[in-house]
Structure 1
Amino acid sequence: MSHYLRMTVPVLIAAFVAAGCSASTSGPSPSSAAAGSDADAPGGATEQRRAAPRLAITYEGGVEIVDATSLQKVADIPGEGYLRANPAGDGRHVFLSEGTEFRLLDLGAWSVPHGDHQHFYTAAPRRTDIRIEAPEPGHVVRHDGRTVLFADGTGAVTSVLSGAVADPNAPRATYTAPKPHHGVAVERADGSMLVTVGDEKSRTGVAILDHERRTVAQSDQCPGVHGEGAAEGGVVVFGCEDGVLVVRGNEITKTPAPTPGYARTGNVAATEAHAVVLGDYKVDKAAKPERPTRISLIDTRTGAVKLVDLPASYSFRSLARGQFGEALVLGTDGMLRILDPETGTVTREVRATAPWTEDANWQEPRPAVFTLGSTAFVTEPATKSIVAIDIPSGTERRRNVLEHTPDEVSGVTGVGVTH
């Protein structure tokens, strides 16, 4: 089992500064906050000079919340079992996969529009009362202003407006795939949905459903379908064991792998402002695990797939994208490589961690990379540390030791999306 990575272009967090407007003497009212139902967060709200991005770092036993600028601990939220975290899409919350549900966590950083500018607030992070039942909670996808959650155990899909994830009264659209499987779904602005096709034994392709959930098109030419990324122009890419499927409108096109036989692209990283999608590339089906040293760059404009050889292997938590489309790959030699996605050229290398070896058990902690704006955050379980790297310059900004051994890393910009 593996995991997908998907990034939309986030806001440049370093550039957020509150405009000249007199500060409030109290936090925003519930009716004006970006996520109104959480405006009265425990501990009160404090107005800040600028946005306060925060990170959610899972560990065995909970989630450590860290200030993304200082890398200092803000809070600790306990959790049970194997925990996973994904941005909820509103700039303030993350969805925690815990047990048989998705649980919404408030990271306590948000903004409120005020005319031609915004006000920024922080409060104590907390668990909210928003829960979505999901046996075997899986992928969380944010696209076209909607957040879609997939329950592998039942095939149930839940969709909600990204800016209303914390509103308990917000309408939720639901759909159930014909058979449960480790899948993913994407809802588009017109109400249509892309959903993987499969069952507990195999996954074969992708279906396009209209707003009434009638099948418009389907392709079964994607064995082992896994991973999803939305690129420029609303194009969505799904990984296969012999190439990728590219969905544009109601057309599904198979782009074969450039090498024959088993050639799996199962994890992709994309931005909705760039045409080229970054993917992994594995060619040894029997390896457990395979330690690939090539990545794929899929040009959704032409269908061309460029393979790039790297000097070190990487894991499924090694792929990310920068604000300006840069392709990031964290190698097992400890180097974060920043590539030009158009040419595949490595433009910068930054020492992020010591050399490491990927564990054969995919659930064991390993170094991971996550981006917010122009900053890449890299965790190192062996030293319980995290480092912030400026992507455009390839320089280290800050490094700090965490309280717990980090597993997954996610985060929010602290700038809200409202609807």
Structure 2
Amino acid sequence: MSARIPARRATAARTPAALLAAALLVTGCSAQDDDASAPSSSPSATTPHGYVEGAKESAEQQSRLLLNDPGTGNTRVLDLITGTTHKVSGTKDTARLTTDGRFGFLHTADGTRVLDAGSWMVDHGDHVHYYRAAIRAVGDLPAGSGAQVRSDAAVTAVTDEDGRTALYDRTALEKGRTGSPTTLPGTHTAAVVPYAEHLLALTDDGEGTAELTVYDRDGKRVATPGARCEDPSGDAVTRRGVVLGCADGALLVREDDGEFTAERIPYDGDVPAKERATAFHHRAGSDTLTAPAGDRAVWVLDVTDRTWTRVPTGPVVAANTAGEGSPLLVLQTDGSLHGYDIATGKHLTRTERLLEDATAQGGTGPVIEVDRSRAYLNDPEGRRVYEIDYNDNLRIARTFDLDIEPALMVETGR
């Protein structure tokens, strides 16, 4: 693997994020100096705030890309800080690749393989901790390619295609083992989402819609906010609550002092089924979500203002945004990346053609991953990943050449 940096502007790829994270650590935390590649010593009696055994704390987001070629099974982890690529155990015939910010979940027909990418963050609200540790395989979960995995700091919920949900101890995963799960009672019509030390679930009410139910982590039903969702599909955790996609728009579920409420964010009028938002993409920590609106437009959901904006874009392959003040990024079938104003929908800029084959097949193909200062676009046919400075007219900051076809990609460390 090699990283090509355009000669016209070879600046550090992470300066804004590094400055922000460093300031947060100085004001609220004590960073660690232990080497993540070596066993960590036991914490002393004066354990620093944020200490994690076996991990190294950093002032900068420790972003890594997990990449998979379903055809060959070749799997790599690209460290975006060092620019190095790590070979890991392969997973062939991967239908989907998802992440919870630290662990990669490689979904196949026979089960879901769990890989610890060794980079993550812990958000304390007023400050953030960034960590890096060794990359390692964790094990397999007995849930096939249709499984939906959602996590918080304590539990990982795995909902299979039949709606049954297994709860795994997150601490066990962090120690390199899957452990023995507990099972949530009943079946559910969408992913079960851990939130605010509880579990949010949509249960078929027998009348063609799903009812929102809140469980505690032991599986006991503790609240039924009285909200219903028709044809649920898609979810996202934001700082303002959990967004659940529904036929008429979205539900925003929030917790305040132990009380759970659900607020409807409807579309402005009827939206045909094929143009509804069914899968959300956004920068971790952002309150601005994107979703395809059919084949030729993108939805932008501003969770803060509770508004939907439909941006006509032309043929859409992938879309994402860093949020307020940043452009809506859209990969179109012409192989170029386009930038739009997320408020007005105005077309701002575009790159040259980056991908010869800008098509998605099933769950594989090009995607756009976004963090605080950069976006990443995978080019399977070209065997490369582009790093894009979305705040500098979509400048190509780095190009990473690979020895595999990265048809599947997710970013960890967020």
When normalised by structure 2's length, the TM-score is: 0.72
User: Which secondary structure state, in structure 2, belongs to the residue aligned with residue 82 of structure 1?
Assistant: coil
- Tell me the distance in 2 between the aligned counterparts of 1:320 and 1:296: 10
CA contact (8 A) 2:365 2:380 kept: yes
CA contact (8 A) 1:88 1:165 kept: no
Three-state SS of the structure 1 residue aligned to 2:381 is: helix
Q: Are residues 57 and 173 of structure 1, via their aligned partners in 2, closer, same or farther at CA, if it must alter by over 3 Å?
A: same
The 1:296/1:138 distance shift into structure 2, 3 A limit, reads: same
Bigger mean CA offset, 399-408 vs 94-103: 94-103
* 2:338 matched residue in structure 1: 337
Q: 5 Å matches for 1:126-145?
A: 126-128=136-138, 130-143=139-152
Distance 1:100 1:321 in 2: 34
SS at the partner of 2:209? strand
Match runs of 1:128-207 below 5 Å: 128=138, 130-143=139-152, 147-158=156-167, 160-161=169-170, 165-167=173-175, 174-176=182-184, 178-179=186-187, 183-189=190-196, 191-198=197-204, 204-207=209-212
Give, in angstroms, the shift of residue 322 of structure 1.
Answer: 2.0
Match of 2:266 in 1: 256
1:295 aligns with 2:290: no
- Structure 2 equivalent of residue 305 of structure 1: 308
Matched, 1:217 2:225: yes
- Deviation of the 1:334 alpha carbon: 2.4
Partners of 2:32 and 2:76 lie apart in 1 by: 33
Q: Aligned match of 2:98 in 86, 98, 101?
A: 86
Q: 1:109 to 1:369 in 2, by over 3 A?
A: same
Structure 2 unaligned spans of 5+: 1-13, 44-49
Match of 1:277 among 283, 286, 289: 289
The answer to whether the aligner puts 1:73 opposite 2:85 as a matched pair is yes
The TM-score, its normalising length taken from structure 1, stands at 0.71
Instruction: Kindly provide the amino acid, as one letter, of the partner of residue 307 in structure 1.
Output: R
Question: Is the deviation greater in 270-279 or in 206-215?
Answer: 270-279
Closer/same/farther in 2, CA of residues 106 and 179 from structure 1, 3 Å limit: closer
* Distance in 2 separating the partners of 1:23 and 1:174: 35
Inter-CA distance 390–145: structure 2 relative to 1 (3 Å threshold): farther
Aligned partner of 1:378 in structure 2 is 377
Contact 2:240 2:304 in 1 (8 A): no
Residue 249 of structure 2 is matched in structure 1 by: 243
Q: Does 1:353 align with 2:363?
A: no
After superposing the two structures, state which structure 1 stretch, 374-383 or 271-280, moved more.
271-280
Q: Which residue of 1 aligns with 2:105?
A: 95
Stretches of structure 1 that go unaligned for 5 or more consecutive residues are: 1-9, 40-44, 283-291
Task: Tell me: CA distance 1:232–1:272, structure 2 relative to 1, closer, same or farther (3 Å).
Answer: farther
Question: What per-residue deviation string (whole Å, max 9, x for no partner) do you get for residues 140-191 of structure 1?
Answer: 3345775433222452142544x7631368998744363365x2121222x3
User: Structure 1 residues 404 and 306, CA, compared in 2 at 3 Å: closer, same or farther?
Assistant: same
Preserved CA contact (<8 Å) 1:52 1:109:
yes
Which residue identity lines up with residue 86 of structure 2 in the other structure? Answer: V
Q: Following TM superposition, by how much is the alpha carbon of 1:65 offset from its aligned partner in structure 2, in angstroms?
A: 1.8
SS in 2 for 1:268: coil
Alpha-carbon distance in 1 for matches of 2:52, 2:177: 12
Q: Secondary structure at the match of 1:383?
A: coil
Cα gap change, 1:275/1:176 in structure 2, threshold over 3 Å: closer, same or farther?
Answer: same
Contact preservation (8 Å) 2:250, 2:264: yes
Aligned to 1:411: 411
Give CA deviations for 1:366-415 in whole Å, capped at 9, x if unaligned.
211112331111011221221111222221111132212222211323x8
Separation in 2 of the partners of 1:306 and 1:52? 32
Residue 179 of structure 1 aligns to a residue whose secondary structure is coil
Q: What is the distance in 2 between the residues matched to 1:254 and 1:25? A: 44
303 and 172 in structure 1: CA distance in 2 versus 1, 3 angstrom threshold: farther
Distance 1:22 1:241 in 2: 50
CA contact (8 A) 1:27 1:47 kept: no
Kept in 2, the 8 Å contact 1:233–1:272? The answer is no
* Identical positions, percent: 19
Q: Secondary structure of the equivalent of 1:238? A: strand
Which amino acid in 2 is paired with 1:178? Answer: G
The match for 2:8 is none
Give the C-alpha shift of residue 214 in structure 1: 4.3
Residues 198 and 110 of structure 1: is their aligned pair in 2 closer, same or farther, counting only changes over 3 Å? closer
The whole-number CA distance in structure 1 between the counterparts of 2:211 and 2:285 is: 23
Measured against aligned partners, the alpha-carbon deviations of 1:210-251 in whole angstroms (never above 9, x if no partner) come to 42224513544422x1111223422x2222344223323433
Q: Write the letter of the residue equivalent to 1:306.
A: T
Per-residue Cα deviation, 1:62-88 (whole angstroms, up to 9, x for no partner)? 322222246543214211332533334
RMSD over aligned CA atoms reads 4.3
